[in-house]
Amino acid sequence: MTTTSAGPEGAATVAFSEQDTLRLKQLGTTLRPRLAQLTEDLYNHIQSQLETSNLPGDADQAARLRAMQKDWLEKLLAGPYDGAFWDTQRHMGERHIELTIPLPQIWATFTFLRTSLTGEAIRAAVTEQTDPVAGITPLLRLLDACQYVMSTAYERKRLHDAILALRQLARVYDLEAFFHEAAKQAIMEAQADGAGLLCQEDGHQLQYRFFHGLPASYQAFARWSFPDHLGTSGAALQRGEPVYVSDYPQSIYAMPEFVDAGLQGSLAIPIPGPEGLQGVLAISWFQSQPPVRIPEDRWDHLRLITDLLGANLHREKLEMRMEGLATRDMLTGLPNRRVVTERITTAMARAERHQCLFALLFLDLDGFKPINDRLGHHVGDETLQQVAHDLRSALRGEDSVLRYAGDEFMVLAQDMTHISEVEAIAQRMVETVHRDVHKGELTLPLSASIGVSVYPFDDGSAEEIVHHADLAMYAAKQAGGDQWQFYDNDIGEALAERQALVHDLRHALDRGEFRLHWQPIVTLSPRQISGAEALLRWQHPTRGLLSPGEFLEILESLPLMQAVGHWIIETACAQAAQWHRQGHCLDVHINLAATQLEDKALLGFLKDTLPSRPKHPALLSGPSGDLAADRRQIHRASLGSGSPASCGP
């Protein structure tokens, strides 16, 4: 009598009667002398099946398989058929997963055993003159039950591993790494050889982005594209559903290029996305025999893999859009400074690879601040947009322009073989920027100071190339602007010296290092000293007494000039007061820098300072030009309530 019961986790098992168990053990005893040969035959049968499978075993796998089959066969007809026996069958099913043996090979194993063991049972019954049916019936039931338990455990283990793999897959954020992990799972599910990701590029073309597990003959397709209506991939995109052919060379979708590469079977699954189909996951068979059809129980996993791949492709698109926003200047539409290092590094590598020149042109606009201040920021913005447009239009196809900062641009000029080409581009950039900017009747000039660093003549990192071009740009600006200059070591040394002076100047006022020297002013008739002009000197702590020619131009370019100017006026007025008390009626002349005259706070400072001084004026002078009206106001403030008073207490 045979009964059926439920084993652990609901797996159906078979409980055998004592008589059936005895018959199975007797058969096992009879077969023991032939067990070694039977094990070898079974092993060879499975190996022959695996050789035509997509997952051929290596030497270690073969050894593990041989040992596993030998141990299993020895226990198959030894009993007892209790819970431990069925646990062993479940474990065998899971071990087949670990050895990457496909489920159909388990079925083939039991088909082989039914044939072999049934024949052995009949021969034993004939020898022992017993009823062969009585021995064969429990044997077939045992094999059926073992196959069921193994297959169920195999599927449960496969699904469990698939869920774990999908969870791990969801934690992979790099698209290429994600594809390779996803491809491994898809290949295993479909029992195929390789997979590729095809995406739509340049309109209606399909191009491979990644391969996994495909033969070397396929690598030639890395840069190849084809119309998106051809092949199984094109058909899948057109239909919006998977397309599978088990005999690719004879199918209506066959493309000669893939037939020549050895493609035997092809499964193309369209990749979904929120904005439409994004591409195709192409699963391929080369050495393995493609199945007549893809088993239904594999489709859910394959579709889920494809859905996850679609989510990652969409995320990549969003990241690229966000990166584009982060690396693009919103006003001009040009790339911004975030991409400078990457672009320069790429250009340097290209110059090395092709043995050519790469030039970085650093442009700073001359006269842009007055345009912004006097014509308005909207005119300044329009000017920057127009300059950006004109620079783009003036460049060659292989060159690029980006906006580095407020009124600073960079041009990357590539693939040049002679320095004269660099010179021509630099001069063209100067001429492109040079213009007048109008608003109503007011016209202001705009030009560019350009520094040029040429690689490999100016060697170093991307940051050093930028620094060299910046130094050369500053030298061009110091030379009057509206011109370009190459970087050389002399420029670097001169600007390094200037930077040292700038550093010392920032502390000179607090340290009391400035001095006023007085130059007498003599009238011809009568011949006498009528006044004195205040001359600024700097008592440098290490370089000694410096004349204005050595530092004044730098000082006037710094915000510090306003504070130094106030100090000069206060010191000169104090000296005039002292001379006044001593009975010397001398005019004091003070020169004002252009930056002081542009300071809206100067007039208020004079009104606050001069009333506290005697009414003998300090006469202020400055550069001629458009600020004459402002200077008249300043002069009136300096005179106080009227003409000079007579000397005396």
pLDDT digits (tens, 9 = 90+) for 86-134: 888 898 888 887 777 777 778 888 888 888 888 777 877 777 777 767 7
**Do 12 and 149 contact (CB within 8 A), yes or no?**
yes
Q: Is the dihedral of CA 631, 636, 640, 646 positive or negative?
A: positive
Q: Would you give the end-to-end CA distance of the chain in angstroms?
A: 142
Candidate CATH numbers 3.20.20.450, 3.40.630.30, 3.40.50.1820, 2.40.10.480; the one for domain 514-639: 3.20.20.450
Q: What is the pTM of this model?
A: 0.45
Evaluate the omega torsion of the peptide bond into residue 559 and state whether it is cis, within 30 degrees of 0.
no
Residues 199-203: what's their mean pLDDT?
78
pLDDT digits (tens, 9 = 90+) for 275-324: 888 899 999 998 888 988 888 778 888 988 898 888 888 888 887 777 77
Residue 61 amino acid letter: Q
Task: Locate all alpha helices (DSSP H) within 226-273, ordered by sequence.
Answer: 231-239, 256-260
Of 39, 305, 55, 57, whose CA–CA distance to 169 is shortest? 305
The CATH H-level (homologous superfamily) assignment of domain 337-487 is: Reverse transcriptase/Diguanylate cyclase domain (3.30.70.270)
CA distances from 304 to 133, 169, 242, 271 (A): 49, 11, 13, 10
Evaluate the omega torsion of the peptide bond into residue 249 and state whether it is cis, within 30 degrees of 0.
no
Q: What is the pLDDT of residue 58?
A: 58
Give me the residue label for tokens 């141990």: 71
Q: Which residues pair with 284 in a beta bridge?
A: 194, 266
The CB density around residue 523, as the number of other CB atoms within 10 Å, is 10
Select the more confidently predicted residue: 512 or 78.
Answer: 512
Of 476, 415, 411, 406, whose CA–CA distance to 448 is shortest? 476
Residue percentage of the chain with pLDDT more than 70: 86
- The two tokens of residue 493 are 């040394």
Domain coordinates in residue numbering, the chain = 2-164, 184-323, 337-487, 514-639
**Do 290 and 251 contact (CB within 8 A), yes or no?**
no
Each residue of 272-298: b (16+ CB within 10 Å) or e?
bbeeebbbbbbbbbbebebbeebeeeb
User: How would residue 496 be classed by pLDDT, with cut points 50, 70 and 90?
Assistant: low
**Do 421 and 357 contact (CB within 8 A), yes or no?**
yes
CA distances from 11 to 6, 72, 342 (A): 6, 19, 60
Candidate CATH numbers 3.30.413.10, 1.20.1050.140, 2.60.40.1930, 1.10.490.10; the one for domain 2-164: 1.10.490.10
Listed as own residue / partner, the contacts of 98-102 with beta carbons closer than 8 Å and 24 or more positions apart are 99/57, 99/61, 99/64, 99/65, 99/68, 100/55, 100/57, 100/61, 100/188, 101/46, 101/50, 101/55, 101/57, 101/65, 102/53, 102/54, 102/55, 102/191
User: Would the pLDDT of 644 be above 50?
Assistant: no
pLDDT digits (tens, 9 = 90+) for 606-616: 777 775 555 44
Of 113, 65, 156, whose CA–CA distance to 56 is shortest? 65
**Do 193 and 214 contact (CB within 8 A), yes or no?**
yes
- The two tokens of residue 381 are 């913005």
Q: What average pLDDT does the chain have?
A: 82
**CATH no. of 184-323:** 3.30.450.40
pLDDT digits (tens, 9 = 90+) for 139-171: 888 889 989 998 888 888 877 877 777 777 777
Residue 58 amino acid letter: D
Residue 306 amino acid letter: T
